[in-house]
Structure 1
């Protein structure tokens, strides 16, 4: 199993536990916060830094 699959499965399990313990509204806010954090961090990068991040992703695809 790849690392990404493990992270996705872990995220689903944590969100289901949060749903049971905290209730649907707070669990939804937690899941949205976890999804929004990397998006906001990417949007805060300069255009040159974004190009560098995209280039790193393309470089890893070939290896």
Structure 2
């Protein structure tokens, strides 16, 4: 299993665990909010580089 697939599977598991504990909408907000906050914490140069790199080059 590739590293990306393991991260995606981990995200699904965390989402499934959070739904019964805190409800559907808060769990959805957590799953969407964490990557958004991580993106916003990048420097402008890092964001620009991330937008221009193709998915195959991200590792």
Please state which band the TM-score falls in when normalised by the shorter chain: 0.5 to 0.7
Report which of the two has the higher share of helix. Answer: 1
**Rg bigger for which structure?**
1
TM-score (norm 2): 0.66
- Residue 25 of structure 1: how far off its partner (Å): 1.7
**Greater relative contact order structure (CA < 8 Å, 6+ sep):** 2
- Residue 7 of structure 1: how far off its partner (Å): 0.3
Q: Which runs of 5+ in 2 are unaligned?
A: none
TM-score (norm 1): 0.63
**Structure 1 runs, 4 residues or longer, greater than 4 Å off:** none
Backbone CA RMSD of aligned residues: 3.1
